[in-house]
Structure 1
Amino acid sequence: MSPAMRWILIIVAVIVGIISVLGWRFLAAAGYFTAIKQEVVAQCTTIPSPPGPEDIQIDRKRGLAFVSAYDRRAAMAGHKGVRGGIYTIDLTAPEGQWALHPVTASEPADFRPHGISLYVGADGSRRLFAVNHPAAGGHTIEIFDVAADGMLTHVKTVADPLLVSPNDVVAVGPETFYATNDHGSTGPTRQMIDDLLLKRNSDIVYFDGKSMRVVASRLSFANGINVSADGKSIYATEMLGLALHVYKRDPMTGDLVPSDYTPLGSGVDNIDVQEDGSLLIAAHPKLTSLISHGSDPRKPSPSQVIRVELAPGGGGRAGTIYLNLGQDISGASVAAGYGDLMLIGNVFDPKILVCKQSKEIKAF
């Protein structure tokens, strides 16, 4: 064998080795090797919905749930005319009568909502914030006034170059908010490469009503975000980092300081802060199955709900209160608590589950 051929074989072997290691790292993070041995069941009923009820925010004082939905499969197939919407569920009605009612404003005309957040002012006024991925391109945060019956009126569009790939939003004022960027790059090819490399290039941005800036960085697919009832803590999930981050928040400046970190071992998605301060986090135990489910609805994707009970000063406990292989609901993206119930939404399918919340936390 010539020296040149020997070097070529060495280089090829090194490249194959690197690709194998990177592939193994990604598959491990995406849950490909995760074995689900036993489901954690709950008593559930189903509410029909438009496809893709990805996020749910509950106005507990009014007994009204806001649902963000659009048909992602149709959008992925290239259908330009897909317009999503915001819907409400009147939770004060008997549970058997719960249904989705459209409250979407006519503006913006190009509206494909993702994460949403409800802000309630000291005077009782309400605003709904929504991440928007217009078909025409770019990303925005849309702000709506909420009427007493839940109907929305468009107030403002926030666009900024720092909204690279927004996923979720949490409002902390009538025009101020935090948003997660799940990627630090644009375009499906570059984002796929980022995911395969498990690059920590996603971040959290803060808009103070006039300008936007990055307040937390080096995250691996930042996803859900929410705020504590006292406004002093921000919670954020890393889908590929499989973890929950807790930040101390300066209400005057909006600055965030890391204060706690909890590995959860699953592809964590949206966060709901319950009245008792506990967190409900929807999760994807097998992200590879979620990808398959997105292209083929016949392939189920396991769904999980994790409850996190934070302790003062840090720590606490976390565990699973719902786990399904995907037959009941695939690709659960949010679990919003209402009393002893939780409303579970998903990324693609036309349904919402209403389930009893288990009082028992189980290890996964």
Structure 2
Amino acid sequence: MSRPLQKVIIGVVIILCAISVLGWRFLSAAGWFTGIRAEVPAECHDLASVSGPEDIAIDQERGLAFVSALDWRAVMRGDKGVRGGIYVIDLKAPQEKWALAPVTPNEPADFKPHGISLFIGADGKRRLFVVNHAAGGNAIEIFDVAQDGALTHAKSVASPLLVSPNDVVAVGPDSFYATNDHGSTGLGSKLSDLLLLRNADIVYYDGNAMRVAGDMLLFPNGINISADGKTLYVAETLGAALHVYSRDPATGNLTPRDYTRLGTGLDNIDVEPDGSLLIAAHPNMIAFMSHASDPKKLSPSQVVRVVPGTDTGGKAGTIYLNLGKQLSGSSVAAGYGDQMLIGNVFEPKILVCKQSKEFKSF
């Protein structure tokens, strides 16, 4: 065998080995090798919805659930004129009367909502913050909230730093943090996923300017904050981990405090009145991607409860797990009393379940 041919063969072997390693790493991170031995059931019933009730924020005092919904499959197909909406559920009404009431204003005209966050000021005034993937560029829309949940558009916040915003958490009437689930868009985002690059970040807007507040994250998704405003939680989907940051309320600066791998593709985070977290998750991201392109293909749904420790540590466990027949592609679990509302990315329904305080599985 000639030396040039030997070099070619060695080069091909090296390339094939590299592709195999990269493929194994991605499939492992995406849950391809994760086996679900048994479901963790809950007492649930369906609540009819428009397609894609992806995020839910609950006003515990007024008993209102705000739902961010968008027909994501229509967006993925490139359909023209797709406009999402914000809806309200009156949780004070008997459950059999729960229904989604539209409260979306006409402004902005191009409205493709994603993550949402409700801010309640010391004076009781409410504002709803919404990630908007408008054709003209990503923005965070801020709405004033009336007593009945009706929305009035207050302002839009846009910045080149909002590269690929996924979720938002409000920390003031005009200030917020947002997650960029990727550091780039298009082919760059796909390569980032395949190579598991930690090039995504958290941005902070103080009401005047935006800056990067945290970086080196792998598909950061859900974001939320403790009641005292001193602890920030960020969920990684491909990283399958929960990041905990100490926050300086005066400056907005974040300091990494804790990091916990939960072994599942974490999505949105809901902070309960008792300080515990409800996190919806995708145990198998490969199945979720298949479900995105074909509604007949099921994607497992999971809800994880996390009870943070005083400083670090704590405990976590699964309180709901379904192979996808009851609900596919869970994206949020928001608690209200002993109930939780589980939203999803694509299906036209919300699952209303009895919320277990017991850690049934991990």
Structure 2 residue 334 is matched with structure 1 residue 336 = yes
Residue 334 of structure 1: SS of its match in structure 2? strand
Equivalent-residue separation in structure 1 for 2:155 and 2:316 (angstroms) = 38
Residue 227 of structure 2: SS of its match in structure 1? coil
Which of residues 196, 213, 226 in structure 2 aligns to 1:228?
226
Per-residue displacement from partner, 1:148-194 (whole Å, max 9, x unpaired)? Answer: 1100000000000000000000000000000000000122x211111
- Which residue in 2 is equivalent to 1:153? 152
Equivalent-residue separation in structure 2 for 1:362 and 1:119 (angstroms) = 32
- The letter of the residue matching 1:163 is L
- Which residue in 2 is equivalent to 1:238? 236
Which of residues 159, 181, 193 in structure 1 aligns to 2:191?
193
| 8 Å contact from structure 2 (residues 88, 103) kept in 1 | yes
In the TM superposition, residue 311 of structure 1 has moved relative to its aligned partner by 1.6
- Which residue in 2 is equivalent to 1:170? 169
Per-residue displacement from partner, 1:229-272 (whole Å, max 9, x unpaired)? Answer: 00110000111110001100000110000111111000000000
In the TM superposition, residue 287 of structure 1 has moved relative to its aligned partner by 0.3
- The letter of the residue matching 2:148 is D
Unaligned runs of 5+ in 1: none
- Which residue in 1 is equivalent to 2:77? 77
Equivalent-residue separation in structure 2 for 1:25 and 1:357 (angstroms) = 34
Equivalent-residue separation in structure 1 for 2:270 and 2:122 (angstroms) = 21
Structure 2 residue 180 is matched with structure 1 residue 181 = yes
Structure 2 residue 257 is matched with structure 1 residue 251 = no
Moved over 4 A (4+): none
- Which residue in 2 is equivalent to 1:298? 296
Equivalent-residue separation in structure 1 for 2:18 and 2:136 (angstroms) = 35
Equivalent-residue separation in structure 2 for 1:209 and 1:355 (angstroms) = 37
In the TM superposition, residue 137 of structure 1 has moved relative to its aligned partner by 4.1
Residue 257 of structure 2: SS of its match in structure 1? strand
Unaligned runs of 5+ in 2: none
Per-residue displacement from partner, 1:263-319 (whole Å, max 9, x unpaired)? Answer: 100000000000100000000000000000000000000000000001212111000
Per-residue displacement from partner, 1:13-37 (whole Å, max 9, x unpaired)? Answer: 1011001100000000000011111
Per-residue displacement from partner, 1:80-112 (whole Å, max 9, x unpaired)? Answer: 210000000000000111000000011000000
- The letter of the residue matching 1:166 is P
Within 5 Å, give how 1:49-68 maps onto structure 2: 49-68=49-68
| Superposition CA RMSD, Å | 0.6
- Which residue in 2 is equivalent to 1:318? 316
Within 5 Å, give how 1:62-141 maps onto structure 2: 62-134=62-134, 136-141=135-140
Residue 150 of structure 1: SS of its match in structure 2? coil
Equivalent-residue separation in structure 2 for 1:313 and 1:319 (angstroms) = 19
Query: With structure 1 as the length reference, what TM-score do the two structures score?
Result: 0.99
Structure 2 residue 214 is matched with structure 1 residue 216 = yes
In the TM superposition, residue 362 of structure 1 has moved relative to its aligned partner by 2.6
- Which residue in 2 is equivalent to 1:25? 25
Query: With structure 2 as the length reference, what TM-score do the two structures score?
Result: 0.99
Identity value in percent: 68
| 8 Å contact from structure 2 (residues 70, 85) kept in 1 | yes
